[in-house]
Amino acid sequence: MKVLILGAGGMVGRKLVKQILQTGFNSINPSDIYLFDLNFPNQHHTGVNLIKGDLGDPKQIKKLTTYRFDIIFHLAAIVSGEAEENFDKGWKVNLFSMWHLLENLKIEHFNSSSKYIPRIIFTSSIAVFGAPYPDKIDDEFLCAPQTSYGAQKASAELLLSDFSRKGFVNGISLRLPTICVRPGSANKAASSFFSSIIREPLNNKTAYLPVDTKVKHWHASPRAAANFLLHATTINTSILDNRRSLNLPGVSCTVEEQIEALRKIAGQKVVDLIISKPDPFIKQMVSGWPSDFEPERALKVGFKAETNFEQIISTYISDDLEKA
Amino acid sequence: MKVLILGAGGMVGRKLVKQILQTGFNSINPSDIYLFDLNFPNQHHTGVNLIKGDLGDPKQIKKLTTYRFDIIFHLAAIVSGEAEENFDKGWKVNLFSMWHLLENLKIEHFNSSSKYIPRIIFTSSIAVFGAPYPDKIDDEFLCAPQTSYGAQKASAELLLSDFSRKGFVNGISLRLPTICVRPGSANKAASSFFSSIIREPLNNKTAYLPVDTKVKHWHASPRAAANFLLHATTINTSILDNRRSLNLPGVSCTVEEQIEALRKIAGQKVVDLIISKPDPFIKQMVSGWPSDFEPERALKVGFKAETNFEQIISTYISDDLEKA
């Protein structure tokens, strides 16, 4: 079995590789794991293959597909804030790389005498949704993205779904909650502050809060994200009835509740390191984001996440803070 | 004011041109109307510009956009049956032509000292939906297309919506009901039989019915379609709140009710010309199609259609049959 992870240099990618190596993942040999990304900061796994490259380049995608991977995790993306600022780059990487990937996998599918149908696990996002929302978003709610990132993820889902329906690949799109608490430094995602208001204070640093504390959002930990991805490789996709985009479980809470959970775990002095600093650009983007879900289908097929924000903070403390 | 109609050689395109010339459309001069298509069968309008070309060719699209049209009707498509059979051609024309069109219009937008934001009316389809359905599909129901055609239309909608949100163009996607009764001969759309079972008998010809008479579907006449397109040019799109894809009004009825309406209008002898001839390919495609809608948003902004199937047959008789 050969596994490819696109965007493996990112935070979720690193967590996933670690999880694969720790759990054994069907006794996979590290030499059968291929990581693809522009760069691999803090990537210290031995035995796996690192391929530096650019998903914006169709030729590199074509070359990759000739390896005939059994499982492809597609985590690569231009994140929300950057896709909003750099419109063309966002569409190029977030949508067209999916097209080139699928087109070339289709060529491999038809090139083979044996049946080649790779499993593709694609990290989509709850940014595919757009306000106004019901109290809880159910599995039949429309995609009406209000950001370029969300529109790109929603269209990539449609491509993956149609190539899968035709039997060229076997894909599944995971609409990840906002991943929180992210270790490391802030990225260009507009959602980055949801992590930094927990992470920075726990590391004795000041954090800036760009939105109102009433903002309610949908979260899962990096560990949960890696588990989602691994779990998705085990699902019998035929039971999805060609609805291959899943809203995943998570924790719905307000920034106020996030801060309260931090207070319980780390005390008032830590909380005092959070400083309000409104940012109209972030505020505007976040105002269109969903806050709560009823992810019945994902729960039914066995996806699991944390059930409250204190658990999410504890996961950060045990997985990342103590090792820092 | 300059107007471009992409796919003007098709049946709805011809109806639209006729309607524009008849109604005057803000006193437009025929020489300011440009029709684009591979071919123009039965196109007998004088004074308008005919451009033969292929939307699959990005260079031709680029050239077109330099004309700086004020209104662009985008009706061009590989129809459902053909898109299912010819996978690559469907994606190329139904999705990528939209990308090239929008990318080049964006270049024109930024090239201009004056504000150039063309209005784009895109004919999408109820094929963006996929079973299982509620009794009536409301305006918040998800897109889960079960055909390549539907997936292509849904992704093109997402592109148009995001380019519009950014202010590069001012787009609106119209999810047309199945257009029925189509004049002329059958096309490659899997829905073609909904028209032929009415049209052929009225023209004293045998018609073949490939599905069960219990099949329920969503219809509007060609005249209603042309009116939808014209009405869409008058809407203040800011009231759509960035939900620029509209489910349009139509008539929900079963094939049995279609036949009953035909019997009332034309008698039993005409109905006797319909012969059952099951087609598994068509049956399978149609089984995933929606049958009824609650198109509140479209009604609220003034879209109108027929209210029963007899009206739809009468429209065919007065607009097309008598002239044949």
Secondary structure in 3-state letters for A9-50: CCHHHHHHHHHHHHHCCCCCCHHHEEEEECCCCCCCCCCCEE
Calpha distance B320→B199 (Å, rounded):
10
User: Cβ B158–A154 below 8 Å, yes or no?
Assistant: yes
Cis peptide before B271 (omega within 30 of 0): no
- Count CA within 13 A, CB hemisphere, residue A288: 22
β-bridge pairing A33-37 and A3-6: parallel
Contact criterion met (CB below 8 Å) for B149 and B125: yes
Indicate the residue of B87, B159, B165 with minimum beta-carbon distance to A166. B87
Q: Where are the beta strands (DSSP E) in B232-280?
A: 245-247, 251-254, 274-276
Helix ranges (H only) for A66-147 are 80-85, 87-91, 97-111
pLDDT for residue B131? 93
Is A145 within 8 Å of B161 when comparing Cβ atoms?
yes
A76 touches chain B (CB under 8 A): no
Task: Give me the total of CB pairs closer than 8 Å, taking one residue from chain A and one from chain B.
Answer: 67
Domain ranges of chain A: 3-176+220-249+293-306
Q: What is the pLDDT of residue A287?
A: 85
> Residue A158 and residue B143: Cβ atoms within 8 Å?
yes
For residue B86, what is the DSSP state? S
Which positions in chain B touch A126 (Cβ < 8 Å)? none
Determine contact, residues B54/B38, Cβ cutoff 8 Å. Answer: yes
Which A positions 100-119 lie with beta carbon below 8 A of chain B? Answer: 103
Give pTM, 2 decimals: 0.95
**Cα angle vertex A168, ends A164, A174, to 5°?**
35
Residues of B285-309 as b/e, b for ≥16 C-beta within 10 angstroms?
Answer: bbebbbbbbebebbeebebebbeeb
Tokens of B253: 């009825």
Contact between chains at B142 and A145 (C-beta distance less than 8 A): no
Taking only the tens of pLDDT, chain B with its 324 residues reads: 999 999 999 999 999 999 999 988 888 999 999 999 999 987 777 899 999 999 999 999 999 999 999 999 999 999 888 999 999 999 999 999 999 999 999 999 999 777 899 999 999 999 999 999 999 999 999 999 999 999 999 999 999 999 999 999 999 999 999 999 999 887 777 889 999 999 999 999 999 999 999 999 999 999 999 999 999 999 999 999 999 999 999 999 999 999 999 999 999 999 999 999 999 988 988 888 899 999 999 999 999 999 999 999 999 999 999 765
Which ipTM was obtained for this model? 0.94
Q: What is the pLDDT of residue B289?
A: 87
The two counts, helices (H) then strands (E), for chain B are 13, 12
Cα B79 to chain centroid distance, Å, stands at 10
- Is the domain A3-176+220-249+293-306 a CATH 3.40.190.10 member? no
3-state secondary structure of B147: coil
Catalytic residue IDs of B:
149
3-state secondary structure (DSSP) of residue B150: helix
Q: How far is A221 from chain B (nearest CA, A)?
A: 27
Candidates A67, A116, A149, A208; catalytic one: A149
B70-88 residues labelled b (16+ CB within 10 A) or e (exposed): bbbbbbbbbbbbbbbeebe
- Of B233, B98, B73, B102, which is closest to residue B163 (Cα–Cα)? B102
Residue length, chain B?
324
The Cα of B97 is separated from the nearest Cα of chain A by a number of Å equal to 13
Q: Which strand ranges, in their side-by-side order, compose the sheet holding B216-220?
A: B178-179, B216-220, B251-254
Nearest-angstrom CA–CA distance, B65 and A182: 44
Say whether residue B239 is in contact with chain A using an 8 A CB cutoff. no
Torsion of CA A273, A274, A276, A280, to 10 degrees: 130
Rounded Cα distance, B289 and A264, in Å: 52
Cβ of B158 and A162 within 8 Å? Answer: no
For residue A157, give the 3-state DSSP assignment: helix
- B3-176+221-248+292-305 folds as Rossmann fold (3.40.50)
Edge-to-edge strands of the sheet including B170-176? B49-52, B33-37, B3-6, B71-74, B119-125, B170-176, B245-247
Q: What's chain A's average pLDDT? A: 94
Question: Which pLDDT value is given to residue A323?
Answer: 65
Q: What is the pLDDT of residue A289?
A: 87
| Burial of A267 per CB tally in 10 Å (0-12, 13-18, 19+) | exposed
pLDDT value at A162 more than 70: yes
Q: What is the pLDDT, as a whole number, of residue A223?
A: 97
Distance CA A85, CA A83 (A): 5
- pLDDT value of position B323: 65
Residues A264-321 have pLDDT tens digits of 999 999 999 999 999 998 898 888 889 999 999 999 999 999 999 999 999 999 999 9
Among A146-150, A184-188, B74-78, B230-234, the least confident range: A184-188
